[in-house]
Structure 1
Amino acid sequence: MMGVNYQNLTFAPDYSYAHGDDGKLIRFTRAERLLLAELIGHAGVLRSREQLLDAVSKVGSDSSDRNVDFFINRLRSKIRDSAKNPKFIGTRYGEGYVWVGPHSVQTGPLAECYVVVGPIVTIGQESADSHAIQFAEGLAQALRKQLPAERVVSVRPDETSAGFRINLTFIVSGGRNECVSCLQSGENTKVIFVRRDACHDIDVTSLAESHLTALWQFQVDRPGQGAPDAAPLAVRMAEAGGLFADDTPAGLPGEIAKLQGEAFPSAVIWRKNEVQLRRLLQDGRGTPTTRLMLAVNIYTGYIIDGWRFLANEDPRERDQAEMESLVLEVLPELLDDPQDALSAAHVLSFMGPAHQVLALEIAEEAFARSTALADALSILGRLRGFAGDFEGALDLLRRARPLCKPGSMFERYITSCICQNLLASGDFEQKDRELELLTKSPISKGPYRLLYANPNETLPSFPVRIHLALSPRKYARAAVLWSYYTSARLYRPREAQENVIVGLARHMRRRFGDEIIPDEVSAAIPATMGCIAQPVSEKTSSYV
């Protein structure tokens, strides 16, 4: 495992423990770990007692800042530091504490690093001075706070090769110290992002955010503009976001929280992506494509997380207005590039019947120009399906699937689209065969068999019964609204709308009663409230 070296101590990256040259292990409490992260993350910078108390308050300390003194004394005892002659933690009487340890060097294999801060160059000196190293450490710590734990960030003052690296060059100009930070890809030394800042007033958190946003944009574009196997923008954004998001689920109900990696990505991803995109627009680095990406991300949020947040709020009117504004105001510029045009058509189709004719026309025209065949086939396939051309839709989607990397998010997305169109068209037998490809984990069989339930099903399968038994009422109601909003309403043929949602609606009604169907859904698709046959085994209950 990577470590952070300070004199004779090597700290774990998350500061949960350290070991000395003698190999003795030192374990830290959660409060001590948070204090270390706060102090080392601001090495050489005074931290007041209030700031340190804020860092540890999340673990339950009371409001007295003298608790910080207690934690500091205990921490010093563990790392054998002295208040009078500090090696690590200096006291500024009446003010607070400061990390005074000499600079750290990351240890461990370079292959484990996701981002390396280095090389570090001070113009006019043979090697980087302590101030430059401390600056690098502060930047590295700010990067770590914004990345999941498995994305290792390392300070390597002399390193010139790494997967991604942020080179730091320090120069004295006009009587002030300045730093040029340059993000590069180790694959081809491509410069991804560069900026120049005055060292005395730079915000390392903001600097880290800027570099990570640029790195995220690079990952989105990495497959290559117009490459035949390039996935749709929504999929590429989700894949890139997955590199920066900790997808450990939190606050989700029951077994649903365990659903990871099948068909749809973690909801954390689209939230992280939104932060990146809005930051680009706020910083003035946005383009028409950036606006399109934000619209695509809002749409993606409904697809992968709508079932959850629609249980607590209904932002559809606000979000649809924003998507419309984001796309239509720059549509002429987007039409110049076939991939942008296809993504714009995808978003417009989601806005409903008022835009679907225009969306299909744009997609058909862009398809004829596009070299990104996988992207073009998948998007046009979806839009033809919404129009009721199921034969054409399924032909395009099946031609797109061989262009996907086996087991990839893109392949699962295509298979999901095929399942949905087979269900809409009434080919339930073929849909069931495709569904087996989509749901290989026992955990995911229940939710997806429920979502793609045939309208004539009476006795739910065992995985569906288990899922329904564990589903809270409010999420069940939201799931019906979600299915209607993200799929059923988008199909023009009435029969297709019914095929997509009636099976789900009937299982929900059997489990929760008629009131589980939102009025909006029953008014738009009356068949969701049609007569339902009771399962043959109803005497013993169809649900666990």
Structure 2
Amino acid sequence: MRSARGADGSEIVFTRQERVLLMELSRRPGALLSRSELHRAMAATGRMAGERNVDFIVNRLRARLGDDARAPRFIATQYGEGYVWIAAADRPDGVAAFVVVGPVRGEAQSAAAASLVQGISDQLATLLGSGRKVVLVPDWQGDEAAQVAFALEISLHAELSDLHAAMALRSLPSGRVIATRRARMAQREAAGQGVAIARWARGAIWRHIAVPDGSELLTPSDVPVEIRLNEAGRALTRSPERWREAEAQLRKARDERPGDPSLAILWALNLFARLIQWPPDPGLASPGGATALEDEIETLVLGNLAGIEDNALLKLAAAKLLFFTDRGHLELAEQLADEAFADSTAFGAAYATRGQMLMCRGAIPEAVALYDKGIELAEFGSDFHIYLLVLKCTALMAGNDRPGVARTSEELYLARPNSRWMAPFFISPYDDDLPEPVAAALSAYSPERCQQVLRHLYQTSARHFLAAGHRASVMRGLATGLRRLVGPQAIPDDIARLLAASIR
């Protein structure tokens, strides 16, 4: 197999590595193939590195096939184990969509019913955008060939001049009902009701992805809540400011359930997302803006700990937030993280949270070991994988392991090429010549912009390390590069003093 034909008729020509992997998987449909098995099969190409390079080739192959790791049609991931070829030999009737509106049951033939159902489908497609396909299949039966993330079932009943509608939103392939809605409307007004129902469905999808249900069974590869929030935003918006989507959804949810402790923790996480965003939120530029958000985060977490006692993911989120605000709650944060790890199977999320506290206490090798364990559980190229790699780079910077930083940052760029915008944060203070793209980007900064970048790095990362030497090591690479390219005025006075003190 040298090539394949895409859905648009274009030819996809595979590399030798891609052909070997594709043939190895597709000739054994349904079988779990480990990384080591695939690595051995691909070694014959003579270009293989470590087993993790298998993940890169899988990721590249998915991109070329138009396959989505979260809703795969061809290659499914068994976290921490390997990959499975799930495509059937012939699937002419399969439906591929983010949401299927269907089946539609009951008295669905009237003009009012048809206009309602079509309006729901159209409005949901508009709300989700072009990246998330919505299809209306009134007689859909959930066929096994389908690749669908959610199904919106609708039942209709006409009574005199009214139309009654019952909706059930299911998560697939599990079939679990995640939200229901009952609506009653005048038949003559049915066409205008699609907007409200579509907004309800969109909000329910966001909550399902973002909000950890305390009753759900957790797996070792479950991700921290801050990553779930990001993934929920990614599912519903193409904007890089995903916290804005979360803010809108959380405001609505908190209005409906004002005393819900889980929503309070999620709101605090959304405030955290605003604080770490780059470029910084202009709304936080005023004096005390960031401090006010951290005050609110601290109050929300401490006031809602009792209500999240039985939810391991939310306890880990609370630990992360108390750690981040840096208000003297490190021991409480460590206790919460340890309890969540001891009481649940969410190993991956716990590795990430506990690793941050270990590295900031100075236990760099132990933190890196936890990050590596989390990386083994993470989907290659996923938000969680990228998050862990960035944390690992930070730990290695603090420990002044510059070769380790270089290796890990290259793994980061391999997993997600568009993450190279982060390269300035990982540059070495010992390199005489910066990579040309990095040097060009930094040279364009004004001294004021340089100081803003350095303060952001300090506030979001370096300040959490207890040892001044570790804080200085996190800052030194970027600060040295900016001083070289822009001059000493690029460095804020307090950061300059930190760096000078660390080399005495």
Same fold (TM over 0.5): yes
Aligned length: 401
Could you list the per-position Cα deviations for residues 372-405 of structure 1 after superposition, in whole angstroms to 9, with x for gaps in the alignment?
1111111101111112221221221122221112
Asked if the contact 1:116/1:165 (under 8 Å) is kept, the reply is yes
- Matched to 1:148, the amino acid is G
The alignment partner of 2:329 has SS state of helix
Relative to 1, partners in 2 of residues 1:192 and 1:287: Cα closer, same or farther, differing over 3 Å?
A: same
Among candidates 350, 355, 368, match of residue 329 of structure 2? 355
Question: Aligned in 2, Cα 1:203/1:291: closer, same or farther, shift over 3 Å?
Answer: farther
1:283 aligned residue: 256
Matched, 1:169 2:159: no
Query: Where does residue 210 of structure 1 map in the other structure?
Result: 200
Q: Name the SS of the counterpart of 1:228 in structure 2.
A: coil
- Any conservation in 1 of the 2:211–2:225 contact (CA below 8 Å)? no
Q: Displacement of 1:155 after TM fit? A: 2.4
Question: Could you tell me which residue of structure 2 aligns to residue 487 of structure 1?
Answer: 461
Q: Summarize deviations over 1:450-472 as a string: whole Å, max 9, x none.
A: 20233445543333212223556
2:98 pairs with one of 76, 101, 114: 114
**Are 1:115 and 1:153, in contact at CA under 8 Å, matched by a contact in 2?**
yes
Amino acid at match of 1:273: A
Partner of 1:219 in structure 2? Answer: 209
Aligned residue number for residue 189 of structure 1: 175
CA distance in 1 between partners of 2:466 and 2:419 (Å): 28
Distance in 2 between residues matched to 1:296 and 1:510, nearest whole Å: 37
2:221 maps to 229
Between the aligned partners of 2:491 and 2:127, the Cα distance in structure 1 is 40
CA distances 1:150-180 after superposition (whole Å, capped 9, x unpaired): 2122222222326222222223469743222
Per-residue deviation at 1:442? 11
1:250-284 deviation per Cα after TM superposition (whole angstroms, max 9, x unaligned) = xxxxxxxxxxxxxxxxx233322222222211222
CA distance in 1, matches of 2:419, 2:176: 44
Contact in 2 for aligned 1:424/1:500 (Cα 8 Å)? yes
- Structure 1 residues 172 and 159: alpha-carbon distance in aligned structure 2, compared to 1, 3 A threshold: same
Shift of the 138–487 alpha-carbon distance from structure 1 to 2, 3 Å rule, reads same
CA distance in 2, matches of 1:269, 1:486: 18
Cα distance in 2 for residues equivalent to 1:489 and 1:277: 29
Letter in 1 for 2:278: G
1:188–1:430 Cα change, 3 Å: closer
Gap regions ≥5 residues in structure 1? 3-107, 248-266, 533-544
3-state secondary structure, aligned to 2:367: helix
DSSP 3-state at the match of 1:354: coil
User: Residue 443 of structure 2 is aligned with which of 469, 478, 488?
Assistant: 469
Distance 1:471 1:388 in 2: 33
| Residue deviations 1:417-476 (CA, integer Å, cap 9, x gap) | 111001011222222222221123997586433202334455433332122235566654
1:239 equivalenced with 2:223 (yes/no) = no
In structure 1, what is the Cα distance between the partners aligned to 2:496 and 2:489? 15
Partner of 1:506: 480
State the match for 2:113 in structure 1.
132
Q: Which residue, out of 271, 289, 296, partners 2:244?
A: 271
| Aligned-pair CA distance for 1:525 | 6.2
Q: Deviations over 1:503-528 (max 9, x none)?
A: 2123223333444344xxx3366235
Contact 1:385-1:392 at 8 Å conserved across structures: yes
CA 206–311 in structure 1, closer or farther in 2 if over 3 Å, else same: closer
Which residue does the alignment assign to 1:101?
Answer: none
CA distance in 2, matches of 1:465, 1:245: 32
Alignment correspondent of 2:164: 178
Q: Give yes or no for contact 1:307–1:475 (8 Å, CA) kept in 2.
A: no
Residue correspondence of structure 1 range 254-265 to structure 2 within 5 A: none
Contact 2:101–2:152 at 8 Å: present in 1 too? yes
Write the letter of the residue equivalent to 1:490. Answer: H
Return the offset for 1:148: 2.3
Aligned residue number for residue 424 of structure 1: 398
C-alpha displacement at 1:488, in angstroms? 0.9
- The residue matched to 1:231 in structure 2 has which SS? coil
2 CA distance for matches of 1:186 and 1:329?
Answer: 36
Alignment equivalent of 1:298, drawn from 271, 278, 282: 271
Letter paired with 1:128? Q
Q: Once the 2 structures are TM-superposed, how far is the Cα of residue 233 of structure 1 from its aligned partner? A: 1.4
The structure 2 residue matched to 1:146, chosen from 118, 127, 137, is: 127
Choose from 489, 495, 498 the match for 1:527.
498
Deviation at residue 186 of structure 1 after TM alignment: 4.0
Report the aligned-residue RMSD.
3.2
Alpha-carbon distance between aligned partners in 2 of 1:489 and 1:121, rounded to the nearest angstrom: 58
Structure 2 contact 443–486 (Cα < 8 Å) conserved: no
What are the equivalent positions in structure 2 for 1:364-513 lying under 5 Å apart?
A: 364-440=338-414, 447-471=421-445, 475-513=449-487
Structure-2-length-normalised TM-score? 0.71
The SS at the match of 2:109 is coil
Q: Structure 2: how far apart are the matches of 1:113 and 1:194?
A: 21
C-alpha displacement at 1:347, in angstroms?
1.0
The corresponding residue for 1:309 is 281
Query: For residues 209 and 110 of structure 1, do their structure 2 counterparts lie closer, same or farther at Cα, with a shift above 3 Å needed?
Result: farther
Distance change in 2, residues 1:370/1:505 (3 Å): same
Structure 2 CA distance for aligned equivalents of residues 285 and 196 of structure 1: 22
> Counterpart of 1:227 in 2: which secondary structure?
coil
1:33: which partner in 2? none
Matches of residues 337-352 of structure 1 in structure 2 within 5 Å?
Answer: 337-352=311-326
Find the aligned partners of 2:465 and 2:496 in 1 and give their Cα distance.
12
Q: Give the CA deviation at 1:182.
A: 1.7
Relative to structure 1, is the Cα distance of residues 490 and 412 closer, same or farther in structure 2, using a 3 angstrom cutoff?
Answer: same
Could you tell me how far 1:353 is from its partner in structure 2?
Answer: 4.2
| Separation (CA, whole Å) in 2 of partners of 1:508 and 1:158 | 62
